[in-house]
Copies of this chain bind each other. A is one copy, B any other.
């Protein structure tokens, strides 16, 4: 995946390599609803060999989290979740976080990095920028999120996403979908002590019932799933399929086989491989079914 290439990419290049691009489709829906009149600043990624420079932007936006439900979000790059950051193992990454929110500080904590939080995951004031450097030593499916206090609130407002590190010396041949499960609450007390109002994949309840993912019979497909929480576990499950492999945190070394359901903690991720055996419509969801009622379900249309 671009180990030797050199070029400039916009956010669409980090879209899933799966047949459909619906997994990141929420961003486009929000384009016309800028809060505070700031322009949308999408992430950019420039690669020279394994030197990668990423620009990301923290900004407030009004987004749609369920049909007809608008949400005053705090975002990375204008969407909830933020963009999928796609990297290769061994990349030397320079990430510049630009806080274009005129009102409050933000920051970024990347689970894929092994660097000092006190020097890197620190507040960036409105109008300022900060450079974070790290090497992607461990392949996996990781979460990133804002780490500004109160971090519980910055996360619940929408400041999280997936950062995927592909193993070195591999060419990804299996189509991948990127799914971020997360919760939205009605108020601070519910966030601290109650239950969520909406639970979503990629930031909008039930969106993949209207716009299903797609797959082919007999061809493996992978789900790179992050549970952004901020509070609840996911019991990730695909109706009609058995997971031929589950890689916790996307680990290359640790691989489980033949599972019906896999628990993903808040702040964790997993790489899940399935092969659908018949054409038809399938569903993915969390098998904690109260959260299905709140939006954490989508469809996959499988064709011959």
> Could you list which residues of chain A lie within 8 angstroms of chain B, going by C-beta atoms?
109, 111-121, 137-140, 142-143, 147, 150-152, 155, 191-195, 229-233, 235, 237, 239-242, 248-249, 251-254, 256-263, 265-269, 276-283, 287-290, 292-294, 302
Contact B258 A268 (CB under 8 A): no
| CA–CA, A241 and B120, complex, Å | 13
Q: Point out the residues of chain B lying under 8 angstroms from A193, CB to CB.
A: 194-195, 290
Q: A235-B268, A260-B249, A260-B269 are in contact. Are A288 and B229 (CB under 8 A)?
A: yes
* Set B109, B232, B257, B302: member contacting A253, Cβ < 8 A: B257
| CA–CA, A29 and B288, complex, Å | 29
A184 to chain B, nearest CB (A): 14
Contact A268 B278 (CB under 8 A): no
**A139-B258, A253-B258, A259-B268 given. 9 additional CB < 8 A pairs?**
A115-B240, A117-B240, A117-B282, A142-B260, A152-B290, A251-B256, A253-B257, A266-B289, A267-B287
Q: Point out the residues of chain B lying under 8 angstroms from A137, CB to CB.
A: 242
Q: Point out the residues of chain B lying under 8 angstroms from A192, CB to CB.
A: 195, 290, 293-294
* Set B118, B119, B121, B259: member contacting A249, Cβ < 8 A: B259
Q: Point out the residues of chain B lying under 8 angstroms from A279, CB to CB.
A: 116
Q: Point out the residues of chain B lying under 8 angstroms from A253, CB to CB.
A: 257-258
Q: Quick one: copies of this chain in the complex?
A: 3
| CA–CA, A283 and B260, complex, Å | 27
A269 to chain B, nearest CB (A): 7
Q: A138-B258, A237-B267 are in contact. Are A280 and B117 (CB under 8 A)?
A: yes
Contact A287 B265 (CB under 8 A): yes
- 9 pairs across A/B with beta carbons < 8 Å? A114-B241, A138-B258, A143-B260, A152-B290, A155-B289, A237-B267, A259-B268, A263-B263, A268-B287
Q: A258-B249, A258-B252, A287-B229 are in contact. Are A282 and B116 (CB under 8 A)?
A: yes
Q: Point out the residues of chain B lying under 8 angstroms from A252, CB to CB.
A: 258
A112 to chain B, nearest CB (A): 8
Q: Point out the residues of chain B lying under 8 angstroms from A240, CB to CB.
A: 113-117, 120-121
| CA–CA, A140 and B193, complex, Å | 33
Q: Of residues A150, A232, A252, A260, which shows the largest number of chain B Cβ atoms within 10 Å of its Cβ?
A: A260
Q: Point out the residues of chain B lying under 8 angstroms from A256, CB to CB.
A: 248, 251, 254
Q: Point out the residues of chain B lying under 8 angstroms from A293, CB to CB.
A: 150, 152, 192
